[in-house]
């Protein structure tokens, strides 16, 4: 496909290509995204369920929803999207990878220095003392208030390591991500509806700083009109074709 050839050529030519991924990068690993027809947020108001105030006010309901909706992530493995991006980083054709995802699949595929804007499922932290712990401390079946996971140090309530609604994003991750968007001469959005800020400002900032924009997403986004390439195919297939165009063989696990 002509767009694949052009995108492969642009990656080869770019001095500082930056990638932003969303949940659509992990659907081919069997993980549902949030806002498409089969998304996690279908039919519910996530802010009322997976926000800081929901955790404080209704911790049992919060943890039951969290475990039901996120526990499927544990067994997921990287798919071609993650593997090709890791290979492009290894070749130096992608300089930085920014993700909204919390599933750790980019790291599992070998991507270095991933900027995780929305935290990660690997950890949890205490709402009272702020200490962080491995996420296995919150991987419990919460039936009553007595089951709510507590901080082993101070007894405060534990929260997942993912950024909840009403929580600020990690400041250093955000700052680095905005710096990378300003430096980019090529910016790729892969599998994101670009409906959530501030992540959805990064591609616009890149375009305003002179970068070419490519959007690999199955459904329209608010920035399609600013993109040099909009490819509405499964990102795994597109990136596999880009890799073969570049003669790159991603590491298969």
Q: Which are the contacts of 18, defined by CB distance < 8 A and separation ≥ 6?
A: 94, 95, 96, 97, 98, 180, 181, 183, 184, 186, 187, 188, 206, 211
- 103 assigned to a ligand binding site: yes
DSSP 147: G
- Smallest gap from Cβ 94 to ligand APR, in A, equals 17
Distances in Å between the alpha carbon of 37 and those of 30, 40, 43, 114, 162? 15, 9, 10, 28, 23
- Smallest gap from Cβ 219 to ligand APR, in A, equals 4
Closer CB to ligand APR, 179 or 195, in the complex: 195
- Smallest gap from Cβ 101 to ligand APR, in A, equals 6
Q: What span, in angstroms and rounded, lies between the C-alpha atoms of 251 and 243?
A: 11
- For the purposes of burial, counting CB atoms within 10 Å of the CB of 61, is it exposed (0-12), middle (13-18) or buried (19 or more)? middle
Closer CB to ligand APR, 89 or 193, in the complex: 193
- 27 assigned to a ligand binding site: yes
Q: From the candidates 16, 72, 118, 226, which is the catalytic residue?
A: 118
- Smallest gap from Cβ 153 to ligand APR, in A, equals 28
Q: Which are the contacts of 111, defined by CB distance < 8 A and separation ≥ 6?
A: 82, 85, 86, 89, 97
Closer CB to ligand APR, 89 or 192, in the complex: 192
Q: Which are the contacts of 191, defined by CB distance < 8 A and separation ≥ 6?
A: 21, 22, 23, 24, 25, 26, 27, 33, 81, 216, 217, 218, 235
- 109 assigned to a ligand binding site: no
Closer CB to ligand APR, 17 or 189, in the complex: 189
Binding residues for ligand APR, rule: CB under 6 A, are 22-24, 27-28, 33-36, 39, 46, 100, 118, 191-193, 195-196, 216-219, 234-236
Residue count of the chain: 253
118 belongs to the catalytic site: yes
Residue recorded with tokens 């690993």: 29
At 102, list the tokens: 């919390």
Closer CB to ligand APR, 39 or 110, in the complex: 39
- Smallest gap from Cβ 78 to ligand APR, in A, equals 13
Q: Which residues are tagged catalytic?
A: 118
Give binding residues as ranges.
Answer: 23, 27, 34-35, 100, 102-103, 118, 126, 129, 151, 154, 192-193, 217-218, 235
Give binding residues for NAD(+) as ranges.
Answer: 23, 27, 34-35, 100, 102-103, 118, 192-193, 217-218, 235
Give binding residues for nicotinamide as ranges.
Answer: 34, 102-103
């Amino acid at each position: 496909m002509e767009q694949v050839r052009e995108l492969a050529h642009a990656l080869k030519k770019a001095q500082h290509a930056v990638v932003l991924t969303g949940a659509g990068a992990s659907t081919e690993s069997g993980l549902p995204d949030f806002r498409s027809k089969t998304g996690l947020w279908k039919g519910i108001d996530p802010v009322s369920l997976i926000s800081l105030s929901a955790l404080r006010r209704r911790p049992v309901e919060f943890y039951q929803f969290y475990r039901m909706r996120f526990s499927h992530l544990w067994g997921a493995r990287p798919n071609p999207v993650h593997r090709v991006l890791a290979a492009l980083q290894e070749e130096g054709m992608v300089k930085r990878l920014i993700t909204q995802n919390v599933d750790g699949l980019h790291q599992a595929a070998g991507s270095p220095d991933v900027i995780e804007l929305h935290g990660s499922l690997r950890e949890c932290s205490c709402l009272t003392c702020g200490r962080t712990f491995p996420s296995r401390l919150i991987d419990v079946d919460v039936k009553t208030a007595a089951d709510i996971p507590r901080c082993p140090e101070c007894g405060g309530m534990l929260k997942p390591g993912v950024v909840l609604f009403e929580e600020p994003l990690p400041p250093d991750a955000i700052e680095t991500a905005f710096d990378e968007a300003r430096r980019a001469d090529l910016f790729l959005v892969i599998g994101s509806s670009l409906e959530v800020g501030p992540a959805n400002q990064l591609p616009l900032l890149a375009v305003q700083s002179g970068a070419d924009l490519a959007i690999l997403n199955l459904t329209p986004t608010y920035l399609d009109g600013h993109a040099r390439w909009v490819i509405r195919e499964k990102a795994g297939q597109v990136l596999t074709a880009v890799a073969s165009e570049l003669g790159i063989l991603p590491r298969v696990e």
